[in-house]
Amino acid sequence: MRTGETLAALFWLAIALGITWSGWELGLGSLSDPGSGSMIFWVGAVMAALSLATLVVALRQPAAAGLASLWHDLRWWLVPYVVVLLALYAWLLPVLGFFASTVLLLLILFMTIDRRSWIAPPLGALLITAGAYVVFHRWLGTQLPAGEAERWLGQHLPLIFGRS
């Protein structure tokens, strides 16, 4: 039994049960006319199920060797690395625009953190960014920052990158 994981699972189980109870008190309503507590209740129920699953896994695992085992094979340097990259992304976003900044961020992350091949990072960065752009800008109508790269893309690919 791992004490830390067990305590964390019990903590989140208590929170989940509180959320579920709050949803129940607000009223669930029916399937065709959900009450104000319906969504809260079901979110709490899913949280409780996940907490119970985590609790079962924590109780079945053998105890850890000690505090040093927590840091074994841990790439702690990734946290400040990603924080710095996100700060640079936020700084470049108004200058380069959503598309160029996001492609650049994803390309750097894919190339440096866990590169599998040379073709997957640029292809993944382009496809993920283009998909997010189409979903959020074209379909949902969200305004995204436009930089010089997007102005150029808007002129040459107006069907995808044109401002609506």
Is the predicted pLDDT of residue 68 greater than 70, yes or no?
A: no
Tell which of 44, 70, 96 closes a domain. 70
Tell which of 29, 47, 70 closes a domain. 70
Tell me if 98 sits within 8 A of 144, measured CB to CB.
yes
How crowded is the C-beta side of 27, counted as CA atoms within 13 Å? Answer: 6
66 shares a domain with 13: yes
Rounded distance between C-alpha atoms, residue 122 and residue 120, angstroms: 6
151 shares a domain with 82: yes
107 shares a domain with 56: no
pLDDT attached to residue 41: 94
118 shares a domain with 64: no
pLDDT in tens, 5-26: 889 999 999 999 999 999 999 9
Is the predicted pLDDT of residue 67 greater than 70, yes or no?
A: no
pLDDT in tens, 95-151: 888 989 999 999 999 999 887 888 999 999 999 999 998 899 888 888 888 887 777
Is the predicted pLDDT of residue 160 greater than 80, yes or no?
A: no
Q: For 64, list phi and psi in degrees, rounded to 5.
A: -70, 155
| DSSP type of residue 118 | S
- Full-model pTM: 0.57
133 shares a domain with 66: no
40 shares a domain with 110: no
83 shares a domain with 138: yes
100 shares a domain with 62: no
Tell which of 70, 93, 123 closes a domain. 70
Confidence band of 71 (pLDDT split at 50, 70, 90): low
pLDDT attached to residue 1: 60
94 shares a domain with 63: no
84 shares a domain with 33: no
Rounded distance between C-alpha atoms, residue 71 and residue 56, angstroms: 23
CB proximity list for 46: less than 8 A, separation 6 or greater = none
62 shares a domain with 82: no
Region of poorest pLDDT, from 30-44, 75-89, 100-114, 149-163: 149-163
93: domain range?
78-161
Q: How many structural domains comprise the chain? A: 2
**3 state SS of 40:** helix
Confidence band of 49 (pLDDT split at 50, 70, 90): very high
pLDDT mean across residues, the chain: 87
Structure-token pair, residue 84: 């710095």
59 shares a domain with 83: no
